[in-house]
Amino acid sequence: MNHQQQVIDFLLQKSKMRKKINCIIFLAQSIENLSRKLYNKPMGVIYTENNDVVIDDFELPTCTNEAITPDKTCVENAADGEICVGSSGKLYESGKETCREYVDYKYKSKYQFFNARYKRVLRQKSIVGAYRCTVDTTNGRLSDCNIYVNKLPMITTVPSGTPCVEGAA
């Protein structure tokens, strides 16, 4: 590869990395702005010393009714579609005065994302929290759900032209 091609490749990589960093900054600012509107306090994103990324102050409510019943919501005064966590680590969804086990029939995803109203959202939507579950890929049943903490890889100083993280593209 000639020098000119190396320079072009380097500039393309730098441009891609800058776009990714800008997206992360925008996402963090959006979370902080949303939390100010919802709670009148900054919630934000926390970066721990181990490079874990935690969305601060989010936790699904604990279910007060884990029985699948047609006449009672999972959490008192819950709105239709609100999710809570049962003592067994399963997720439950309140409906019109009902409580039912939440099952991810459609996506069968081990990652479940939630908005500030404790409703499940897709990862492209306004996420304020996430849970990681064990999922049965045949029927979408979820179990062992816990708050998900995304661990980012450590970036080390490396010679130019090699990836910062082993295995990265």
Residue 152, pLDDT > 70, answer no
Sign of CA dihedral 151, 145, 137, 107: negative
Position with higher pLDDT, 38 vs 11: 11
In a domain, 96, yes or no: yes
* Residues 73 and 133 both lie in one domain: yes
* Residues 19 and 76 both lie in one domain: no
Which domain does 28 fall in, by range? 3-43
pLDDT in tens, 36-71: 566 554 454 555 555 555 555 678 999 988 777 777
For residue 81 the two structure tokens come to 């579609």
In a domain, 163, yes or no: no
Rounded Cα distance, 39 and 62, in Å: 20
Residue 2, pLDDT > 60, answer yes
Q: What is the pTM of this model?
A: 0.58
* Residues 131 and 58 both lie in one domain: yes
Residue 121, pLDDT > 70, answer yes
Q: How many helices (H) and strands (E) does the chain have?
A: 1, 10
What's the mean pLDDT in 61-86?
Answer: 86
Judged by average pLDDT, the poorest of 62-66, 107-111, 155-159 is 155-159
| Alpha carbon separation from 65 to 62, 70, 119, 147, 154 (Å, rounded) | 9, 12, 17, 20, 42
What's the mean pLDDT in 24-38?
Answer: 67
* Residues 30 and 66 both lie in one domain: no
Quote the pLDDT of residue 42: 44
For residue 121 the two structure tokens come to 């959202």
What's the mean pLDDT in 23-34?
Answer: 70
Residue 92, pLDDT > 90, answer yes
